[in-house]
Amino acid sequence: MNANVVNVAVVDGKTITQTVELSSVNKNQPVRIKAVQGGKYILAEGANGVAPENITIKRVGKDLHIALEGTDPDQPQLIIEDFEGSGGQLVGVAEDGSYHEYISSDAEQDRSAAFLIEGVEAPQVLGAQPLKGFGDGLAAAAGIGWFWPALLGLAALGVLGGVYAATRDDDNGNDDGVGGGGGNTDKGSIGGVEDNVGDKIGLIENGGTTDDRTPTFTGEGRPGTSVEIIDNGKAIGTAIIGEDGKWEYTPPAPGLDDGKHDIVIVPIDESGNKGEPSPEYEIIVDTVAPSSPLIDGIYDDVAPQEGQIGSGGHTNDTQPTLSGTGEADSIIRIYDNGVEIGSALADAEGKWTFTPDPALIEGPHEFTVTAEDAAGNISTPSLPFPIIVDITIPGKPGTGTGGIDDVQDDFGPDRGSIGDGETTDDSTPTIIGSGAEPGDTVTIIDNGVEIGTALVGADGKWEFTPDPALTDGPHEIVVVITDPAGNESEPSDPYTIIIDTIAPATPSLSLVFDDQGLVTGNLTSGDSTDDARPDLSGTAEPDSLVTIYDNGVAIGSVIATGGTWTFTPTIPLSNGPHTLTVTSSDAAGNESPPTPGFDLDVVAGGTPPAPAITSVVDDQGTLRGPLAQNAF
């Protein structure tokens, strides 16, 4: 026998049901065999029947492709159809005659036959640990020639000794494996269980969950015989094996109850003789949808505004993290504006998280989630959680566009607008702006230090009053606009004001000069003068405004240029007593204390009126009192 000849034997339970030689297959025409539930597939090479040292496997759909050493994995010699989910194993015989499972050459589980990822080529070698008990009682079904044990070298090992005879026609002519009369009995097997309900349909794996209360059970057997279907120890129906050797059974409505179902079949021959029950095929029926999951929060982790996003809130994070709770181990499906954008698996505590990929586009997004359990039952949607994604940076603020329009002084005698670069005695002036977007936040920065914020109103206006008060000195103020998503504008152009809250020193009224009439010269306080417009002069803080008061009433003002001032009343003083005082006011409006009063008695404007006798009083003798004119 050619040392390169490779054979495969299909083992169902303890029975070799099929053998195929691979070496005779033409190129690009692989051998195809049908997977059996829980089946084992023995590969043997050469006259001694030992396993090929190296093979390469790949899953394509549900089929397993097997390529022998030195061949192209894309041109397999063997395809086991529907291998995925069948619980099958690839097996080989070591030189000592023990059976070993083929495993990944790098020992990675996800590259073994049972867990292979779609399309991944996985080199395989025999595992180190033998399969305990696998060869015990192994038998060849009727029609399997003696060449197979000889090929494997099993006769020398004693594994198949005498078992062939046990599978031949018995004395009653039974060769179907289910008859009585001392013949062999066949356990049979369930080939598959199909879910035909809901969004999740297809094969229900052994131990799997389904929302279909009437799944379809299928299998194969000898035409003309039947199988009895038993659920949790109770017969629920029978199925006739058709001429094509196949059978199927669907429980009648209302179907199987929710819960675990251990299904077995019992083969029955034409005479009604029953074989042994098949291995159990477990399914779990679950028709109850999970409760509605929750979106607990959405987290923004993009500066400068990181943290939880409130429902209806804004964010500049195009990939915020959603989190919530749902049924444990359920699949959480995330919808954005009604369109599914991904899914997450809830952990054993029901917690889940999800980050959109690709990133969200700018604009409103309304998220909802559903939970899908292992059976495919889908919950009702969660309550919506809307957010607005905004990554557009506001424009530079300016006059009428969110910047500083005006600064108002509302303290002291000199009130009103403070122009850019001007001085004020108000240490808490009101800063005002307009033309911003409602809901934006204006950050006020003084000499590079943030001193507060203001919220833009529905009319686009904002205002801010410093607290605590500004210190004396120059203040260069800029503003930055931040939208609700956290996008920040560049700073506005600076608006400078100078705070001055210190009043000038008291000025002096050092000279009052009379330059009218016969007598002229400097006057002293308390003098009389015939000059109704005397010249006043003195000193004051340079460039301050000197105000002159007459009997407490301002009669004029002058600038103290270079620290000196002079003043001559425009309107002459009236005859009579006058008390003159002077104050000094700086550019911020701070006013000094007044000077001491300078008293004058003004006598001017013509000859005094002639004197007159207005009464004569007698205050002597017995008759006293006012006397009439010409009285005695």
Which residues face 574 on adjacent strands? none
Which residues face 321 on adjacent strands? 299
**Segments of the chain scoring below 50 in pLDDT:** 1-3, 24-26, 145-185, 606-610
State if pTM tops 0.75: no
Residue 61 CB neighbour total at 10 angstroms: 12
Residue 182: the pLDDT is: 34
**Among candidate residues 453, 433, 434, the one with its CA nearest the CA of residue 443:** 453
Residue 128: the pLDDT is: 84
Pairwise CA distance, residues 13 & 344, whole Å = 39
CB 345 within 8 A of CB 324: no
Residue 632: the pLDDT is: 61
Which residues face 483 on adjacent strands? none
Pairwise CA distance, residues 101 & 57, whole Å = 14
Cα of first residue to Cα of last residue in the chain, in angstroms, is 188
Secondary structure in 3-state letters for 533-582:
CCEEEEECCCCCEEEEEECCEEEEEEECECCEEEECCCCCCCCEEEEEEE
Pairwise CA distance, residues 397 & 315, whole Å = 21
Residue 111: the pLDDT is: 73
How do strand 404-409 and strand 430-433 relate by DSSP bridges?
antiparallel
Which ranges of 70-204 would DSSP assign to H, the alpha helix?
Answer: 147-152, 154-157, 163-166
Using the CB atoms, write b or e for 389-400: b if 16+ within 10 Å.
bbbeebeebeee
